[in-house]
Amino acid sequence: MLSRFEALRFTCIRLTGEPVMSVPPLTPLTAAHARLAEVVTLRLSMRSASVFRRVGKDVCHAHVEAALAGLEQDLISGKPDNVRAVVHSLVTELAASGLAFADLRFYTQTLRNAVREALSASPDADALRLLIEGWFFELLTVCTTRFMAWRDEKMQRETAQMGIQRLESQLVELEVALEEKTKLLELIRQASTPIAPVVSGILVVPLVGTFDAFRAEMLTEKLLQEIARRRTRAAILDISGVPVFDTAAAQMIIRLARAVRLLGTAVFLVGMSPDTARTIVDLGIDLTGIQTLATLQDGLARALVLQRLKITPL
């Protein structure tokens, strides 16, 4: 399919009666090349609030020179082969400076009007005008297409960047929330598993509330660390604050006691209520190896004996 430029070229040939490969002389356009470049460059660079004003005369002049050279070559070849290269260079270089479609339209119109003025006095003006109109129509079409493609690409990049920034912001928020929850869990851990060193070599562990697997794991880890750090010889577990002492709780206490005994530390279980004792018997829970005492005072007294210590009044 012929482009608008090629169709106008063949129309020109039919009107002039010249051979198909013949085109009107380019002497007027070639001779006016330098002056055209200066005039168009000045008009572009003087355009207020335009991308051409921002990039300066040198950049404008380079693009005008490229467009005029491409026009001359395409008029000789009869095909608008240089249009795309001219537009690609223009859009690619000026896009970063804030190129707008109004800039492309002004660029095309300014260049077209200057070329028409330069050729107005030429005897071949009518024939050349048809070809030049076709070339500038092609230029405007490619400018429009390339600008729309560039704008779509820009919007896609901006949308993707916004998505990335939104995800990064959410990630930061999640990291902050995770850090806060980690600190909160550590506070809960410290509060839910208090360990009190009452006398050198003796630790008291008061258990309050439901004693589940989570608390048992935290208590075991923390108690073993404290025993190793303080060289503890006796650990007193006070279960008077545990409302329900069932099979699961008993098994966790037994496992805890076994781990403590592996470090050479004696375990005393105190604060057992009559209901808890009855439950342990009914369930057949074996507490062998764990010394059970009624009160914390009894447990502390037994631990002091183990340490060969005693409490005396002042």
Residue 78 lies inside a defined structural domain of this protein: yes
Amino acid at 275: D
Residue 185 lies inside a defined structural domain of this protein: no
Looking at the fold, whether 208 and 280 belong to one and the same domain comes out as: yes
Looking at the fold, whether 37 and 104 belong to one and the same domain comes out as: yes
Angle value at C-alpha 27, between 23 and 33, nearest 5 degrees = 115
What is the Rg, in whole angstroms, of the alpha carbon atoms belonging to the chain? 46
Which CATH number fits the domain that encloses residue 63?
Answer: 1.10.490
CB 258 within 8 A of CB 279: no
pTM given for the model:
0.49
CB-based burial label for 74 (10 Å; 0-12, 13-18, 19+) = buried
Looking at the fold, whether 151 and 222 belong to one and the same domain comes out as: no
Which CATH number fits the domain that encloses residue 222?
Answer: 3.30.750.24
Last residue within a domain, chosen from 135, 159, 183: 159
d(CA 30, CA 188): 86
Last residue within a domain, chosen from 159, 185, 217: 159
What long-range pairs does 127-133 form, CB within 8 A, spacing at least 24? 127/12, 127/15, 127/16, 127/24, 128/24, 128/28, 128/29, 128/75, 130/8, 130/9, 130/11, 130/12, 130/15, 131/5, 131/8, 131/9, 131/12, 131/23, 131/24, 131/75, 132/71, 132/75, 133/8
Residue 243 lies inside a defined structural domain of this protein: yes
Supply the pLDDT for residue 13.
46
What domain range includes position 56?
Answer: 4-159
Looking at the fold, whether 108 and 18 belong to one and the same domain comes out as: yes
Residue 172 lies inside a defined structural domain of this protein: no
pLDDT per residue of the chain (314 residues) written in tens, 0 to 9: 545 555 545 444 444 444 433 445 455 677 788 898 999 999 999 999 999 999 999 999 999 999 999 998 888 888 888 999 999 999 999 988 989 999 999 999 999 999 988 887 776 667 778 888 889 999 999 999 998 998 888 889 889 999 999 999 999 999 999 999 988 877 766 666 788 898 889 999 998 887 778 788 888 998 999 999 999 999 999 998 888 778 888 888 889 989 999 999 999 999 988 888 888 888 888 887 788 998 999 999 999 998 888 777 66
Looking at the fold, whether 244 and 148 belong to one and the same domain comes out as: no
Residue 132 lies inside a defined structural domain of this protein: yes
Looking at the fold, whether 54 and 150 belong to one and the same domain comes out as: yes
Looking at the fold, whether 18 and 126 belong to one and the same domain comes out as: yes
Number of domains comprising the chain = 2
Looking at the fold, whether 91 and 35 belong to one and the same domain comes out as: yes
d(CA 92, CA 166): 28
Residue 180 lies inside a defined structural domain of this protein: no
What pairing do the DSSP bridges indicate for beta strands 266-270 and 202-208? unpaired
Looking at the fold, whether 226 and 142 belong to one and the same domain comes out as: no
Amino acid at 165: Q
Residue 311 lies inside a defined structural domain of this protein: no
d(CA 272, CA 281): 12
Last residue within a domain, chosen from 139, 159, 179: 159
Residue 191 lies inside a defined structural domain of this protein: no
Looking at the fold, whether 13 and 152 belong to one and the same domain comes out as: yes
Supply the pLDDT for residue 190.
61
Looking at the fold, whether 43 and 120 belong to one and the same domain comes out as: yes
Looking at the fold, whether 275 and 129 belong to one and the same domain comes out as: no
